[in-house]
């Protein structure tokens, strides 16, 4: 339970009491639920049946089902860039896809999985850089499109290998492509920027115009590049997209890592506290003023939060954010090895969980659900973060948790702003993620510099679900 201190335009402070596990948000002075009408929603009188999350742990392993909703195919982990924050950097890169694997893998998928005609199934081709494996990817994806015509096919690429012919093929198989690009922060983080090459930039411009919402961009933010709205504007200008052309941009958070808890830990440097504050306030400002509320990631996450309140959805139904603890989410490499997720190899210790040819024998003992993590149980942004990544090494977990906490705090603050017109200045609780932290300063009172009319502008999120 957390007390959220909310500052109004008249400088009055009201406190809302938030329970992320029961999904309740009430005014502490009256006990009344915070009104959802400002975002076009209301509290549901009828609660739907709930299904408990699997809550996996190495001592309580899970299984995988033949009827799959999400199939990831790991082509290999080689990449032609060296992003400073890439979680795949320390994994074993020696198992790579080969064209000879294609007919064998297709047979294993057909014989062991129930994909139907692909309706309701997402199949994602993963790297490394997937197009380094074009000789494997192209025949594999082409045949999968034929066999499962209604499946949603997708991949994530750094776009450095795009050609006009590749874009034609992408369109022919209707492959959704997410480009990993950090806008003006790309050179510093990645060492190369495909948009600096005029020929490649023209190819990418054509791809974004032709493919519309089947092309998108994923951004990793940093202290020097902390506005998703600025990145979106940079990309739109760099690609010279026509007015009205869609540009879908999302972010997975910050690359910056601090090894100690934020705001309240005595050993945290003032410089780090200032950077935390600057990052959180900047992302909040972009959302609260509407600059980034047209981006799907903001609408979906904030809309999902409102839905948990409206339906009083308890936290025990929430899977890990990546959903790899679900039995209907499966990742395999081109050899048919079942692996924990696309960021690891079957040769990484413990991550070879079994094989497609023996799906009943697959044991998922590498996943730790958020409910087994004390930081998650005492976190006010749990419903946005959903437990983070379960393959992060133990020694890196504290820093990774800090990054996620920083990335998702602005979403909570923006959601409260749209609900109440008030600014989340402080959070208080018996414990905020870590022992000894009972108070956290969030948004600076002077962050919003626009007038009342702009501040109270409401962007409806009526039909969005997280």
Please write the tens of the pLDDT for every residue from 176-217: 999 999 888 877 777 778 999 999 999 999 999 999 999 999
Please write the tens of the pLDDT for every residue from 62-81: 999 999 999 999 999 998 87
The dihedral formed by the CA atoms of 202, 234, 287 and 444, expressed in degrees to the nearest 10: 160
Q: For position 264, what pLDDT does the model report?
A: 37
Instruction: Between 446 and 36, name the one with better pLDDT.
Output: 36
Work out whether the CA dihedral 163, 332, 69, 300 comes out positive or negative: negative
- Cα separation values, 340 from 28, 110, 143, 232, 355, Å: 43, 21, 25, 32, 12
For residue 331, the cross-strand partners are 72, 339
Q: For position 274, what pLDDT does the model report?
A: 79
Helix (H, G, I), strand (E, B) or coil at 268: coil
Length of the chain: 466
Which two three-digit tokens encode residue 14?
């009201």
268 Rama sector, left if φ>0, alpha if ψ -120 to 50, beta otherwise:
beta
Q: For position 148, what pLDDT does the model report?
A: 98
Q: For position 92, what pLDDT does the model report?
A: 61
Q: For position 225, what pLDDT does the model report?
A: 86
Please say whether the beta carbons of 325 and 390 come within 8 A.
yes
The pLDDT-based confidence of 321 (bands split at 50, 70, 90) is: confident
Average pLDDT of the residues of the chain: 87
Helix (H, G, I), strand (E, B) or coil at 133: helix
Phi, psi (degrees; rounded to nearest 5) at 179 = -90, 130
Helix (H, G, I), strand (E, B) or coil at 384: helix
Task: Say if residue 14's pLDDT is above 70.
Answer: yes
Please write the tens of the pLDDT for every residue from 235-289: 999 999 999 899 999 887 777 543 333 333 333 445 567 788 888 999 999 999 8
Please write the tens of the pLDDT for every residue from 91-125: 666 678 899 999 999 999 999 999 999 999 999 99
What is the C-alpha separation between 77 and 79, in angstroms, rounded?
A: 6
Closest CA to 380 of 325, 418, 428, 330: 428
Q: For position 32, what pLDDT does the model report?
A: 97
What is the C-alpha separation between 231 and 211, in angstroms, rounded?
A: 20
The whole-number average pLDDT for the span 386-410 is 78
Q: For position 221, what pLDDT does the model report?
A: 86
Q: For position 450, what pLDDT does the model report?
A: 46
Q: For position 263, what pLDDT does the model report?
A: 37
Q: For position 68, what pLDDT does the model report?
A: 96
Cβ neighbourhood burial of 174 (10 Å; 0-12, 13-18, 19+): middle
Q: Who contacts 410 (Cβ-Cβ below 8 Å, separation ≥6)?
A: 280, 281, 283, 284, 287
Q: Who contacts 268 (Cβ-Cβ below 8 Å, separation ≥6)?
A: 258, 260, 261, 262
Range(s) of the chain covered by CATH 3.20.20.70: 70-302+315-370
324-345 as b/e, with b when 16 or more CB fall inside 10 Å?
A: bbbbebbbbbbbbbbbbbbbbb
Helix (H, G, I), strand (E, B) or coil at 142: helix
CA angle 6, 296, 457 (to 5 degrees): 40
Q: For position 313, what pLDDT does the model report?
A: 93
- Which residue is listed with tokens 């749209």? 418
As a CATH number, domain 70-302+315-370 is 3.20.20.70
pTM higher than 0.85 for the full model? Answer: yes
Phi, psi (degrees; rounded to nearest 5) at 310 = -60, -35
């Amino acid at each position: 339970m957390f007390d959220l201190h909310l500052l109004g335009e008249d400088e009055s402070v009201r406190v809302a009491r938030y329970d992320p596990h029961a999904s309740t948000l009430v005014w502490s002075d009256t006990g009344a639920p915070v009104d959802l009408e400002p975002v076009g929603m209301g509290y549901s009188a009828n609660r739907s049946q709930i299904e408990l999350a699997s809550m996996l742990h190495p001592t309580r392993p899970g299984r995988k089902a033949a009827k799959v909703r999400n199939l990831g195919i790991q082509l290999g982990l080689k990449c032609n860039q060296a992003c400073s924050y890439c979680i795949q950097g320390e994994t074993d890169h020696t198992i790579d896809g080969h064209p000879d694997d294609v007919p064998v893998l297709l047979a294993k998928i057909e014989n062991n999985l129930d994909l139907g005609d692909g309706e309701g199934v997402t199949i994602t081709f993963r790297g490394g850089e997937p197009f380094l494996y074009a000789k494997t990817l192209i025949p594999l994806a082409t045949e999968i499109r034929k066999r499962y015509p209604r499946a949603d096919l997708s991949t994530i690429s750094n776009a450095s290998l795009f050609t006009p012919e590749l874009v034609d093929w992408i369109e022919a198989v209707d492959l959704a492509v997410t480009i990993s690009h950090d806008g003006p922060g790309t050179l510093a983080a990645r060492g190369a920027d495909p948009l600096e090459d005029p020929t490649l930039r023209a190819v990418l411009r054509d791809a974004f115009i032709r493919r519309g919402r089947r092309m998108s961009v994923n951004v990793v933010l940093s202290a020097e590049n902390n506005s998703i709205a600025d990145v979106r504007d940079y990309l739109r200008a760099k690609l010279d997209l026509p007015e009205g052309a869609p540009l879908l941009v999302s972010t997975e958070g910050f690359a910056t890592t601090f090894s100690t808890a934020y705001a309240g830990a005595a050993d945290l440097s003032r410089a780090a506290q200032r950077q935390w504050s600057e990052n959180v306030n900047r992302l909040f400002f972009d959302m609260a003023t509407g600059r980034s509320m047209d981006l799907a990631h903001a609408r979906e996450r904030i809309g999902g939060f409102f839905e948990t309140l409206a339906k009083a959805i308890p936290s025990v139904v929430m899977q890990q954010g990546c959903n790899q603890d679900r039995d209907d989410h499966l990742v395999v490499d081109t050899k048919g090895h079942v692996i924990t997720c696309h960021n690891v190899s079957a040769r990484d210790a413990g991550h070879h969980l079994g094989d497609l040819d023996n799906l009943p024998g697959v044991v998922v003992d590498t996943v730790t659900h958020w409910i087994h993590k004390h930081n998650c149980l005492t976190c006010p942004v749990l419903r946005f973060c959903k437990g983070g990544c379960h393959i992060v090494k133990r020694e890196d977990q504290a820093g990774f948790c800090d990054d996620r906490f920083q990335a998702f705090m602005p979403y909570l603050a923006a959601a409260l702003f749209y609900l109440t017109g008030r600014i989340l200045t402080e959070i208080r609780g018996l414990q905020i993620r870590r022992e000894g932290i009972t108070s956290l300063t969030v948004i600076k009172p002077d962050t919003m510099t626009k007038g009342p009319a702009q501040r109270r502008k409401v962007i409806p999120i009526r039909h969005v679900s997280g």
